[in-house]
Amino acid sequence: MFQMNGVFIPVTDIERSKKWYETILGLIKVDEWKNGSDHGVGYIFSEGNTGLALIEVEEPQSTSFTRKGAHPNVYFNFSSDDIKGDYQRLLDKNVMTTPIQHSEEVSMFDFKDPDGNSFSVVQEAPQSPYHENHIKELQRQHSKY
């Protein structure tokens, strides 16, 4: 029925952000539009089918919310199959990150773009209910034939 199609990121300087997202995250540009004050750029990742679009805004806007207990939480995360390598690649490119945190089911860290937008990177352990093998099995069980 539905699947995630795209995520929209508010950025204050679209030219700076285009360079950053293409260079740092390796996104592939699909489209760019400018209609009056509406300026955006659509991207895809080298794998998967979820898109990401940068939308130019006048003031920074949060890509996170606060959970109960005042804990910050991002609206979405990026998955990784090599979290240590991806972490090191971001550090090598001088991206502000948090240390990698490990639990029994997931390893994760956060990073920020030039506008201060926060993002998480996660790598699910094989025993995690969110590991791709478990997700594919759930999808198979619930698919309509």
Q: Per residue in 93-127, is it b (16+ CB within 10 Å) or e — as a string?
A: eebebeebeeeeebbbbbbebbbebbbbbbbbeee
Class at the top of the CATH hierarchy for domain 62-145: alpha beta
Give domain 1-58's CATH number out of 3.30.2010.20, 3.20.20.10, 3.40.50.10490, 3.10.180.10: 3.10.180.10
Mean pLDDT of 71-75: 86
Runs of H (alpha helix) within 2-131: 14-24, 83-92
C-alpha 61 chain-centroid distance:
16
**40 pLDDT tier (thresholds 50, 70, 90):** very high
Residue 141: pLDDT over 80 = yes
**6 pLDDT tier (thresholds 50, 70, 90):** very high
